Structure 1
Amino acid sequence: MTSRMLRPVRTGRHAQPRSAAFLKARLPLVTAAVVAAGLCAACGASSTQTVGSASPASAGQSAQASESATPSTAASTEGSPSAPASPSASASTAPSSSPTPSRARSSSAAPKPARTSAAPAPARIPGPGYDSSADAQKLIDAALSAAKADGRMVLLDFGANWCGNCKAADKVFAQSQTAAILGASYHLVKIDIGGNSSANSALLRKYSPSGGSYKMPVLIVVDSSGKVRTDTHATGNPALTAEGINAFLRKWAS
């Protein structure tokens, strides 16, 4: 009985030193494990912060820094004359040099007004009869000057107020068709040779030098330089009708 009681006591004596030795042997391992765990915890926090997003304070500082840098960058881009514009901006702001298809079609379809040169006003046609007091030379000179300006011919009509054939010719000259031909192509000068005007008789001999007896009216066509183109004293008068005189005027109009 005594031995049974002492056995546990002996066992307890031996157990205490054993547990203490065990603890002494384990303590360095436990300490190392705790230190390692602390180091791992510290390293894990710093690596998470480094790899992940920045802390609120550092993120705010970075945002402020980027905001402060953005205006200066934009200002330097806008202020620099050599900064190229983006393709979309240049395309939207560049003016279109070619017309749109609809405008091109409308402009090509619209006919251009034809240029028309205004025809010269008809020349003045003197009334029937012959003015014995008129200065025939001045009338001829004025008609030649007008003919140089407008390209018409000059028709010299030598006659007398008592001449029946001259009156017949005057009636034809007054008709609308004949008057239109005269006004468009001639400057008509009527010269009285039925009186005693030596000057007018000299003008007749100047433009009709063949002489002899003159059958009135004597119709002489001259150009702007005064050159005679035809003389009815030499060729004979046309029929003193609208058809005869109109054919005569059209023949020598150009």
Structure 2
Amino acid sequence: MKKIKNIPKFDRPREKLQKKDAQALSNLELMAALLGKGVKSRDVFRVAKDVLKVTENNFDNLTVEKLEKVDGIGLAKACQILSAIELMKRLLTKDDVKIKTAKDIVKLVEELKERKQEYFLTFTLDGGNNLIRERTVFIGTLNQSLVHPREVFADAITDRAASIIFVHNHPSGNLTPSREDKLITERLIKTGDIVGINVLDHIIISKNGYFSFKAEGILEGKNTTG
């Protein structure tokens, strides 16, 4: 068995990655680094080799059950591999995301539903409604004195964005926009008009779903840009 401890330290996957970078590792070494160790009857490289055979050109149809058929892969390792693949796919495709409805944004911020603090995010878009960048602008209780239009739009101007969408969560689960939420939105819309960046929507998200200012008609008559 080709045990990690029997390999010269500078040739071990994780040490090699640390000293050089991930690009210096072969696919086999990358998978071995992800798995960490093998099992009693099989070293990590043998397990990694079999996993690569299963995953090769088959990412879209890969399941926990298929991975568990590999000798040395249990539920925990299968979930670890699938999570790494899904994260990679999301990061690689995020730049090509086209925003058509509020649901397209909600899909990108599902984790906000479980957050215990309020988060205020911005999504900048180009003229074709393609996502340029997502940013967390503020964390804490949302109020007008803390959400500065200058900070919110500074990055949007740098991005040369045509439009912007705001998102924040309600840890309480209540989706009804507060008076403060409405005042902040109006203030940001006015700033958007001044700098020429259209405010497309303000979305409130919670464990109970989401609320779209645009879908509810709250933005109508307030936005003069675009």
Report the TM-score, using the length of structure 1 for normalisation: 0.20
Considering fraction of residues, name the structure with more helix: 1
Higher relative contact order (CA 8 A, sep 6+): 1
Report the TM-score, using the length of structure 2 for normalisation: 0.22
Considering fraction of residues, name the structure with more strand: 2
